[in-house]
């Protein structure tokens, strides 16, 4: 699919710009060169006005000069429905120009909407609207070239891009402000292509990471479900044994498994699920909960632990193990945030 590149800006010698523009007489030729390079790079073009007050007319002239009939190129004119755009299109290229009226009555609506939908943006000179379009492109991570050498709003956009960079390399950003030369347009258009490649690679990497995390969460969930099922089974099995040792074994095994399941469920909600580490935390929490609870029971109950008492303990220890495994991270996080050595005021006796 051919990328669509929007080109915006102005270089009217009768207009005041902030920052000031320089070498304004070179801008028409530079814009024509940019249009030619966009056509050679296989890009479609998005423009907004055919007025001599803006640079689109020069860009379209260069673009049409380099387009071939068989290229399948398109110049999309995005403007409100009541605006008329007229470009000097050769008869054999009339099919290239597509006027896409926008239902919005205000030109800003169709203007910024088209910028958001573009695959790349080039800003040249310009005023407030050009500056806003460039800053929005940086914020939305749209590949961007700001022809800063000529000044105007493009210079402000370039300074903003230099602070945030996005997918533009420092070398590419420096080229945007370099003096205009014969190969400048080729380098700037190549920078757009490089930015788009980096952006697509970053998107692919993000999708791969998302898929990996989703698979890890699925594995955590399946292992947790299996651990819960086996833990509940130990309660049932404890009723089938008459020996205290076997019943205690079922009790301890079930509490450890259910605590591991709680830790896995908690870990699945994190940014980077880690099955082995979650299991280790869960087993640790289950061991701690089991020993503390059973220890408290033996200390407070003078009767010896038998199979029947063990089965009764299971109904409490299994939910306790699940809670311990699930909340272990939160408890430890609070403990880490407590400064045990913090100085506290005290009163003199």
Higher pLDDT, 119 or 307: 119
Please tell me the least confidently modeled range out of 139-153, 168-182, 237-251: 237-251
pLDDT of residue 331: 58
Q: Tell me the pLDDT tens digit for each residue of 312-337.
A: 888 888 888 888 888 876 655 554 55
What integer pLDDT is reported at residue 102 of this predicted model? 77
CB 79 within 8 A of CB 107: yes
- Give the pLDDT score at 131: 96
Mean pLDDT of the chain: 88
| pLDDT on residue 333 | 55
The terminus-to-terminus CA distance of the chain in angstroms comes to 82
Max avg pLDDT among 91-105, 135-149, 259-273, 327-341:
135-149
The pLDDT of residue 127 is above 80: yes
Interaxial angle between packed helices 307-337 and 184-238, expressed in degrees from 0 to 180 and rounded to the nearest 10: 150
Other C-beta atoms closer than 10 Å to the C-beta of 57 total 21
Can you tell me the distance from the alpha carbon of 5 to that of 217, in angstroms, rounded to the nearest whole number? Answer: 40
Give yes or no for residue 340 having a pLDDT over 60. no
Contact 227, 264 (CB under 8 A): yes
Q: Give pLDDT, residue 341.
A: 44
Residue with tokens 């790079």: 41
Measured distance CA(312)–CA(74) in Å, rounded = 78
Percent of the chain past pLDDT 90, that is, above it, reads 56
Q: Can you tell me the mean pLDDT for 184-195?
A: 95
Domain ranges of the chain: 4-181, 205-335
Q: Say which range, 90-94, 214-218, 275-279, 294-298, has the weakest mean pLDDT.
A: 294-298
- Mean pLDDT on 108-125: 92
Check pLDDT > 80 for residue 108.
yes
Over 80: is that where the pLDDT of 347 sits? no
In this prediction the pTM is: 0.73
Q: pLDDT tens across 25-83, in order? A: 999 999 999 999 999 999 999 999 888 899 999 999 999 999 988 888 999 998 777 67
**pLDDT higher than 50, residue 343:** no
Residues 6+ apart with CB under 8 A from 313: 251, 293, 294, 297
- The listed CATH number (2.40.30.160, 3.50.50.60, 3.90.930.60, 3.40.50.450) that belongs to domain 4-181: 3.40.50.450
Taking CA atoms, 232 is separated from 98, 170, 225, 299, in Å, by: 68, 60, 11, 27
Contacts of residue 11, defined as CB under 8 A and 6 or more positions apart, other chains included, come to 21, 24, 27, 28, 55, 124, 125, 150, 152
Residues in the chain: 349
């Amino acid at each position: 699919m051919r990328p669509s590149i929007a080109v915006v800006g102005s270089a009217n010698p009768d207009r005041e710009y902030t920052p000031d523009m320089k070498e304004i007489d070179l801008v028409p030729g530079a814009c024509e060169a940019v249009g030619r390079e966009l056509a050679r790079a296989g890009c479609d073009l998005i423009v907004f006005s055919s007025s001599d007050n803006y640079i689109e007319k020069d860009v379209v002239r260069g673009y049409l000069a380099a387009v071939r009939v068989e290229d399948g190129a398109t110049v999309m004119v995005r403007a409100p429905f009541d605006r008329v755009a007229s470009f000097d299109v050769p008869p054999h290229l009339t099919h290239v120009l597509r006027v896409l009226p926008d239902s919005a009555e205000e030109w800003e609506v169709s203007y910024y909407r088209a910028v958001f939908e573009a695959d790349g943006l080039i800003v040249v000179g310009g005023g407030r609207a050009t500056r806003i379009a460039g800053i929005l492109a940086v914020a939305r991570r749209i590949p961007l070239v700001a022809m800063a050498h000529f000044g105007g709003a493009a210079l402000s956009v370039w300074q903003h891009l230099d602070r945030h960079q996005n997918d533009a390399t420092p070398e590419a950003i420096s080229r945007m402000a370099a003096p205009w030369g014969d190969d400048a347009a080729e380098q700037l258009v190549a920078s757009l292509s490089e930015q788009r490649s980096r952006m697509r690679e970053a998107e692919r990497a993000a999708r791969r990471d998302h898929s990996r995390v989703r698979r890890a969460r699925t594995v955590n969930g399946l292992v947790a479900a299996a651990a819960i099922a086996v833990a509940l089974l130990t309660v049932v099995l404890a009723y089938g044994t008459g020996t205290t040792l076997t019943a205690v074994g079922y009790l301890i095994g079930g509490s450890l498994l259910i605590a591991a399941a709680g830790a896995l469920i908690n870990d699945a909600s994190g940014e980077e699920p880690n099955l082995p580490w979650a299991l280790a935390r869960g087993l640790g929490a289950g061991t701690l909960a089991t020993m503390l609870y059973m220890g408290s029971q033996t200390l407070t109950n003078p009767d010896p632990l038998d199979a029947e008492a063990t089965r009764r303990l299971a109904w409490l220890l299994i939910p306790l193990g699940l809670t311990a495994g699930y909340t272990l991270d939160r408890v430890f996080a609070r403990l880490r945030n407590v400064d045990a050595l913090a100085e506290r005021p005290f009163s003199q006796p």
